[in-house]
């Protein structure tokens, strides 16, 4: 089945709000096995919204609209949808009651325009909103389905996951099952080359590749009469992907992040870790500390941005800094060694580089980054030349540090070659 997404709101067109809803819904629809060929953004204008919705209904089985369900006059999504689908708007008593309770529980005055949110297209299904006042709406007309969702992500996402996903999962015959294989340390082009024959011959299951920052995610999706059968179709494909990518596969669980996989590896091997950063300014520490349970392994983090801090905190010699420069293999090595010494952690990781936009030279251009990892005294240093703006270089450096940390731990215990 095909799905089309329509995001409603003039603020989206003006760039005042980033359209995260479209990205979220696209991914979730793909998980459900729905094909999305078109997405639209339209402002708070009834005539234009009507035209976009009519066009979407001509080419998609399911149309999902987010935004425009509020109480004000420019919130027109429900009114336009009702018009296009040929339905009258009627007061929905359960929704009216929920709105009353919502305002009363918060001791907020309920104004007359709030009843607008309790109006429902005739014959439609109201979807409870547990985080706001605007209910969602499902309108069915033969084989066509129109789904209206509130715009705020903290309302839209819980509603979609609790009510809409189960509804859509049962809207087609058969079951869709997906499993994601996450690979790090391999570029998108190389990853595709390694599985080109599998992609060329795919039917059911299918393989979709998604490039992330220093990662490639491979989603394997199968359709079958039941979940058990769909899982059987996916299993051998996932096994083959793991065989081809080897230790570069860090998880087959879509909910596991790279930093979570690294923390799990530290915990499994009873290792503690410390970080020392220059150009990334604590971003590596932040990603690790974002993982629940990291307190069992994370000892300390240091930000030694200046040469003075590198000397004072880490004990790096002034002569080395003057001779080789702060951004060098030698200094990255000494940073990791110094962090390991003062923290007494089995694993230490250092990052030093030139994030730009200034500070680069012909010999040491913007994007030059050295990352070192020490595991029980065994140190590996890698040189990188990243591209992009300052934010991109820093983000890529952090992801690369996590990958190097993972590789070094695996090599230390099993001599795996990457």
- Distances in Å between the Cα of 296 and the Cα atoms of 3, 257, 263, 292 are 45, 18, 9, 10
**Phi, psi at residue 403, to the nearest 5°?**
-65, -45
- Using CA atoms, how far apart are residues 312 and 320, in angstroms rounded to an integer? 14
- Residue 285: which residues within 8 A CB-CB, separation 6 or more? 275, 277, 298, 301
Give the model's pLDDT for residue 169. 82
Evaluate whether 408 touches 416 at the Cβ level (below 8 Å). no
Give the model's pLDDT for residue 178. 87
Parallel, antiparallel, or unpaired: how do β-strands 273-277 and 347-353 relate? parallel
Give the model's pLDDT for residue 171. 65
Q: Where are the alpha helices (DSSP H) in 61-213?
A: 77-84, 93-105, 153-159, 165-169, 188-194, 196-200
- Using CA atoms, how far apart are residues 410 and 418, in angstroms rounded to an integer? 10
Task: Determine the longest span between alpha carbons in the chain, in angstroms.
Answer: 81
What is the DSSP secondary structure assignment for residue 252, as one 8-state letter?
A: S
**Phi, psi at residue 353, to the nearest 5°?**
-170, -175
Three-state DSSP string of 320-342: HHHHHCCCCHHHHHHHHHHHHHH
pLDDT tens digits in sequence order for the chain, 418 residues long: 899 999 999 999 999 999 999 999 998 988 787 889 999 999 999 999 999 999 999 999 999 999 999 999 999 999 999 999 999 999 999 999 999 998 999 899 989 999 999 999 999 999 999 999 999 999 999 999 999 999 999 999 999 999 999 999 876 556 778 899 999 999 889 999 999 999 999 999 999 898 999 999 999 989 888 889 999 999 999 999 999 999 999 999 999 999 999 999 999 999 999 999 999 999 999 999 999 999 999 999 999 999 999 999 999 999 999 999 999 999 999 999 999 999 999 999 999 999 999 999 999 999 999 999 999 999 999 999 999 999 999 999 999 999 999 999 999 987 544 4
Q: What is the pTM of this model?
A: 0.78
* Residue among 138, 129, 176 nearest 35 (CA): 176
Q: Which two three-digit tokens encode residue 88?
A: 């009258």
For residue 358, give the H/E element and its range: none
Q: Which two three-digit tokens encode residue 92?
A: 């929905």
């Amino acid at each position: 089945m095909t799905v089309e997404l329509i995001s409603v709101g003039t603020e989206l067109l003006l760039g005042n709000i980033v359209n995260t809803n479209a990205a979220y819904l696209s991914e979730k629809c793909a998980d459900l096995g729905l094909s999305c060929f078109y997405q639209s953004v339209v402002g708070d204008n009834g005539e234009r919204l009507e035209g976009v919705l009519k066009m979407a209904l001509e080419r998609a089985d399911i149309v999902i609209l987010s935004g425009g369900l509020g109480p004000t006059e420019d919130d027109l999504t429900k009114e336009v949808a009702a018009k296009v689908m040929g339905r009258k708007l009627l007061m929905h008593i359960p929704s009216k009651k929920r709105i009353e309770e919502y305002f009363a529980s918060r001791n907020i005055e309920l104004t007359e325009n709030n009843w607008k949110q309790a109006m429902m297209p005739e014959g439609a299904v109201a979807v409870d909103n547990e985080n706001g006042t605007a209910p969602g709406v499902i309108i069915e007309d033969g084989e066509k389905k129109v789904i209206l969702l509130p715009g705020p992500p903290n309302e839209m996402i819980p509603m979609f996951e609790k009510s809409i996903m189960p509804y859509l999962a049962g809207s087609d015959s058969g079951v869709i099952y997906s499993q994601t294989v996450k690979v790090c340390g391999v570029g998108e082009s190389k990853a595709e080359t390694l599985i080109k024959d599998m992609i060329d011959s795919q039917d059911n299951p299918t393989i979709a590749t998604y490039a992330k920052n220093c990662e490639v995610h491979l989603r394997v999706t199968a359709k079958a009469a039941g979940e058990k059968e769909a899982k059987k179709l996916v299993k051998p494909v996932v096994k083959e992907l793991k065989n081809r990518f080897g230790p570069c596969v860090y998880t087959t669980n879509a909910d596991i992040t790279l930093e979570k996989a690294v923390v799990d590896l530290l915990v499994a091997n009873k290792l503690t870790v410390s970080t020392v950063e220059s150009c990334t300014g604590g971003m590596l520490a932040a990603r690790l500390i974002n993982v629940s349970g990291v307190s069992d392994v994370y000892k300390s983090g240091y930000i030694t941005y200046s040469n003075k801090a590198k000397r004072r905190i880490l004990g790096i010699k002034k002569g080395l800094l003057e001779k080789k420069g702060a951004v060098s293999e030698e200094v990255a090595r000494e940073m990791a060694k110094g962090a390991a010494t003062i923290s007494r952690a089995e694993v230490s990781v250092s990052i030093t580089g030139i994030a730009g936009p200034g500070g680069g030279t012909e010999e040491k251009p913007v994007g030059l980054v050295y990352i070192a990892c020490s595991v029980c005294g065994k140190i590996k240093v890698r040189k990188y030349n990243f591209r992009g703006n300052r934010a991109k270089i820093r983000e890529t450096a952090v992801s690369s540090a996590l990958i190097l940390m993972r590789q070094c731990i695996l090599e230390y215990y099993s001599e795996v070659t990457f």
